[in-house]
Amino acid sequence: MSQLRVLIVGASIAGPMAAYWLAKTGARVTVIERFPTLRTNGQSIDIRTTGVTVMRKIPGMEAAVRAKRTQIEGLRFVGNVGQIYGTIRATGNPDQQSLLSEYEIFRGDLAKILYDLSEDNENVHYVFGEQIASMQQKEDDNGPVKVEFANGFPSSEYDLVVAGDGATSRTRAMGFGGNARDHIDPVNSWAAYFSIKQDLIDGSKLGHGYTATGGRFLAIGQDPAGGNTVNLMGIQPRDKRDVTLPFREAMKQGEEPLKRFIAQHYKDAGWKTEEAMAGMMDSSNFYASEMVQVRVPSLHKGRFVLVGDAGYAPGPTGTGTTLALTGAYVLAGEVGKHKGDLAAGLRGYEERMKPIIKDMQKIPPMVLSIMAPQTTWGIWLRNNIFAFIAWTNILEFAQRHFMGSATGTDKYGLPHYDWVA
C-alpha cells in the first residue's frame, strides 16, 4: 500500500503533535504554518488528565516539559492595595492536580518541544510562511484532496488534510464551507498575555491575581527571562449579547490599536494595573485572543478533519492543551488502526473523542463569575469567602477529591495503539 500523504495546517500544539503520531503510522506528513517562524511566545498552559497520559507515551517528553515548567509555586489572590486573601498551591501529585497544574508551561516552550520531537523525522516536513489558497475534494469524498497554496509551495494532492490552526480556523471554513466564525460559541471573554521588564511582585515565586470591577482580571508572575509575565482577562456575563465585538474590531486594526483598547479597558482598575499597562505598551511578545468554544456537528468531512481548538476549543475550562494532545494521539491511532480504510479511521476518531470533548467543554457553574465578579460587592464577597476556605484548607480538600475533568486522573481509558515507525 502506498504511503498516506497528510497535510497538517498549523504548527502550534495540535499540529506538531499530530505530525509526530501520524509519522509513527508510516504516513508522509507536511506541516504548514502561516507565520514565518515557529511562534515561541504565549501564555502559560496546563497539561492534565489524558494529556499527561499521552505525554508519558512519548520518550523524553515528560522530562522536557518538567525542565521548562514555569516554576510558579502557587497563585495568591490580592486586593486593590495588595492585601492577601488566600493562596492556591499545586498538590504535588501530577495524577491528582489542583487548579494549578503540575505541568504548567509556557505555550511557546511546549510548541518548541513538540516541534523538536518531529522536526528530524524523515517523514515530517515543515513549511513556514505558507497557507492554503484553495482546497478541492471530489463530490463523493472518495479520493485525494487537491490543495493550492498562497505563497509558492507547489500544489499537490493529499489523502488527508488536518486543520489544526486554532479556534477561528480559516481551514475549517474551507473544508466545511462558510466562514471562520461558524461553529463558534462565544463566552463573552477575551485574554491577553505579555512580558514586562519591571518586577511588580518583588521576586515572589507566587503568581498574584487581582480582580477589578467590570470583570477585569489581572495575574502577574515571574518571567524566567527576567521581569514579569502578565495575563489579562476581560470577562462579561454569558447572558449578555456578543460584547467582544469592540475587542475583535481593535484586533483587526493591529497590535498597537489593540493595546490601546486594552489599556483603556483597564484604566483606573487599581492595584498594579497602571504599571502593567505601561509595560504592555512596550512589550515585544504581546498576544491576545477571544476566548471561545468551538462546537461542530462532525469532526470530519470526507478526507478533511479537525484537531485541537479548530474542532473543539473548550474556552475557559483549562483543558485546551489536553484536548489538543489527546485528539492528535487518537486521530493518528485510529487512522493507523484502520490502515487502508481512512473513512473507518476518521469515524473511530470521532467516536473516541466526542465523549471526552463533551466532558472537557463543560464550564463549571459560576466559574467566570467567581474569577471576575462584575461589581464591588461581588468582589468583596468572593474575596472574603475565598479567604475563609483558604484558611480552613477546605479548598485543598475539594481540589484533591471533588474537582472535575480538568484536575483528576485520566478516567477515559485511552486505547493503546500499535505503531509501525
pLDDT score of 243: 81
Q: Pairing state of beta strands 5-9 and 132-136?
A: unpaired
Question: How many Cβ atoms sit within 10 Å of the Cβ of residue 111?
Answer: 23
The predicted-structure confidence for 113-167, as pLDDT tens digits, reads as follows 999 999 999 999 999 999 999 999 877 667 899 999 999 999 999 999 999 999 9
CA–CA separation, 198 vs 201, rounded Å? 9
> Among 415, 418, 421, which Cα is nearest to 348's?
415
What was the pLDDT predicted at 100?
Answer: 62
**Residue written as cell 462558510?**
178
Say what percent of the chain tops pLDDT 70: 89
Yes or no: say if 126 and 119 are a contact pair by the CB < 8 Å rule.
Answer: yes
Query: Hey, CA dihedral for 421, 49, 291, 98, is it positive or negative?
Result: negative
**Distance in Å from the first CA to the final CA of the chain:** 15
**Three cell numbers, residue 287:** 498576544
CA distances from 236 to 74, 182, 247 (A): 26, 21, 12
Q: What is the pLDDT of residue 390?
A: 66
Tell me which residues of the chain have a pLDDT lower than 70.
Answer: 1, 90-101, 140-141, 239-240, 365-369, 389-410
Cα separation, 259 vs 33, whole angstroms = 25
Q: What's residue 68's pLDDT?
A: 86
Cα 213–chain centre separation: 26
Nearest to 343 by CA among 206, 125, 141, 129: 141
Which whole-number Å values give the CA distances from 189 to 32, 77, 207, 218, 383, in the listed order?
A: 29, 20, 21, 13, 21
Place of cell 505525554: 55
- Which pLDDT score is estimated for 101? 62
CA atoms 255, 368, 308, 115: torsion sign = positive
Run of H or E residues at 78: strand 74-78
Give residue-wise pLDDT tens across range 63-81.
999 888 877 777 888 888 8
